[in-house]
Every structure is written in structure tokens, then in C-alpha cells.
Amino acid sequence: MSDDVWILGITMTKFGKRPDEDTIDLAAEAVHAALADGGVTMADMGILAAGNLMGGAGGIGQALQKQVGQTGIPVYNVANACATGATALRTAIMAIKAGECDYGLAVGVEKLSGVGLLAGGSRAADRDEWTPHGRYGAVAGVDGRIGTETMPGVFAQVGMEYGHKYGGTSFELFARISEKNHSHSTLNPLAAYSKKMSLDEIMNDIMIAYPNTRPMCSANCDGAAAAVVVSDAKLKTLSLEQQRRAVKVSASVLTTDPWQEACQILPDVNTLTRNAAKQAYEAAGIGPEDLDLVELHDCFATAELVHYDNLMLCEEGGAVDLFESGATWRDGSMPVNVSGGLESKGHPISATGIANIWEVCHHLRGEAGPRQIENAKVGLAHVIGLGSACGVHILERAA
């Protein structure tokens, strides 16, 4: 078994409206750029893991091969909600750790611009009287009864629940988190929106689900991201420049919900994230205090606040104090979402997991330009998808 796995090449496309490219075009763009970034070719790859949710059923990976190179390698088509990209990368990492190959390729891609509100799955007929039936037994649909299954509503509830439990939250506080991320986005040319927004603009925009207005929600857009991973033994045979730019994967963790009575009804985004973070810190042999930057899944401004706590960037219940201290700004002690986050960078679902990792790698390599976190050595990338799945990766700069 291979002990260490390294990210050799990684890229994300420009996120936004890409009307002239289809899903395969976007994925191929990311793959070619990641291979070039790593100084390798498709012929070197031993596995392809391809993530896509909205492009129809079946073999996105096989269709992609026809555009980037059909070499007969195993292809895994991955779908795991918003954790799809991180799951694809973990699939390639596991193949290398198992000793099946020296190189792996992961890609996530989505065409989402113009799709409107992302809600739950297909809905059965809804009547005034409800008869228990099906796999959920005596549990009726929750939407409109005890909450909602639409993403803005779920994460609005998550943020409000945190405030009720620990105090200190307000509409303005959540808006200030969004203000931070939109400010960060001005330094990211690949973000869907690179526009600074004032607190007044954010608070007075269209209310989507209180306390999240439109700028406090992740942006549906088109985009792709891809990564090439390599075994430690193979990396040692490559050029000194490839070794210098390689980023060590110190932890790659994927979790789902443990059984809890409450989360059979409404999603619990906290427990599986905290479990993933604990496992990741243990695997990497570090603590949250060792992190130089974090890219977390701010699908909504409310989500960013609760994940400060879930990722243990603060003591339990201390997320408001952490934000109020200024720590999570780019020039703070714990920079969070220097890319602009999903609220600005955009959220092409299957690409997000790898795109978050790309941002961290960019800083660890010292290649982030004007938004560079100086002397960054260790970073964490986090995604969560309702359903539920949470991916956490801890990455370290090459010695």
C-alpha cells in the first residue's frame, strides 16, 4: 500500500455562465489543464473518477474519455450531492493507497446557470389526508408542515437554530459574513462574481429565506475542476519542480449521518461535519490551530457560521466571537473562504469539492497572486451535501 498521496496537478475553470460549452467540454477543459499543471498525460493515468449530478444518468466518465483519451482504465461515475467532487477525488486517492495505480484523475463538472431554485427530489401527490405508506412509514412529507426541504430554507433553519442555542446571531451578522466573502472575491478572477458588495446592498437585496438574502446564497453557475494525484513512490521519480509543487494529502475523509431520531425528519449538517473534522485532524496529526486557511462550504451565509464551530475553528458555541474577532478575514488569524466562497465564486455542485481544494493548493504552492496567504503551509477544504455526505481534506505544502 502507498503511504502518502500527493496532488500533482489541479485546476478549476472560470465559473459563471458558459453557454457555448456543454458538460463534456467543461470537464475536458479542466482535465487538460490539470494534466498540464502536473506535467503528465492521460496515458499516465490509472483511474478516472468523474462526478456530475445534473447532466443525465449514466457514464459522464466514459463520455469524457472520448474527448480526452480512451486508454481502457477503470472509470468510476460519482454522484454524492454537493460532496460529489470531493468524493471523486477520494475515489482516486483510495485506488492509489490500495496500490492499484500510481496516478489517478478526478474531475467534477456541472452546468447550473439558469436552473433556478434547487429544491428536493420528485414529490408525490399531496392530499389533505395522509395515509402512512412506503419506506418512511408514519412520516409525512415535511415541506410546509414542520419546515422545508428546499436548500435555502434548510440552511436558514440551521443558522437560526445555532443562534437560538448559543446567542449572538442577527440578520446583520450573517450579512457581514457575506460582505467578507464578496470582498474576498474581488481578488479571484475565476469567481462567477468578483464584485464587492456593501452591507446595505446585501441586507436590502431580495430575501430568499430569512436571514439569507440573494447575495448570501451560493450562485448557480457552470464550471469544472480536476485534480491529478500521485503516489509517494512515483513522485520521487519525477522532476524536482514537480516535487516542489506537489501538495500532500494529509487527510481525506468522507462521512454520512449517524443515526439520530431528529435527522430522520430534517437534515443535521452539524454532526457529520464535526465527525469528519475530528477524523481528519487525527489522520493528519494536527489540530485546527495549525491551519493557515480554510475553504468551507458556505452554500449560504448561515452555513459558514455554523461550520466555524463544526470544523472546530473555535470552541463550541464560539462561532460568533470568532467572526467578530476578524479572524476569518483574509488578513486574520484563520482566513476562511479567501476565494470568495460559494456565495461569490459560485457553486457548480459537482465541481465545488475539487475547486475548494484547488484554492487551498494554490496558496500552499505560493501561486495565489494578490490573495495569497503568506507562508501558508497547511489548509483544510470542506464540502457538505444534503442526503447527507461530508468531505474534509487536509493539505500540506511540500517540505
User: Which residues are designated catalytic?
Assistant: 82, 347
**Strand order across the 48-51 sheet:** 75-78, 48-51, 103-110, 223-231, 5-12, 247-255, 389-397, 378-385, 293-295
**E strand or H helix that includes residue 224:** strand 223-231
Angle between helices 23-38 and 60-68 (to 10 degrees): 60
Helix/strand/coil for 86: helix
CB atoms within 10 A of CB 211: 22
DSSP state of 82: B
Asked if residue 5 lies in contact with residue 93, where contact means CB atoms within 8 angstroms, the answer is yes
Strand 378-385 versus strand 293-295 pairing type: parallel
Q: Which long-range contacts (CB under 8 A, 24 or more apart) does 329-336 make?
A: 329/180, 329/184, 330/184, 330/187, 330/371, 330/373, 334/291, 334/293, 334/294, 335/292, 335/293, 335/294, 335/373, 336/293, 336/294, 336/295, 336/296, 336/304, 336/308
Question: Distances in Å between the alpha carbon of 208 and those of 91, 146, 349?
Answer: 35, 18, 19
Asked if residue 280 lies in contact with residue 398, where contact means CB atoms within 8 angstroms, the answer is no
Q: Where are the alpha helices (DSSP H) in 144-209?
A: 151-166, 171-185, 199-203
Query: How close are the terminal C-alpha atoms of the chain, in Å?
Result: 22
CB atoms within 10 A of CB 337: 27
Distance CA 228, CA 33 (A): 10
Distance CA 305, CA 320 (A): 7
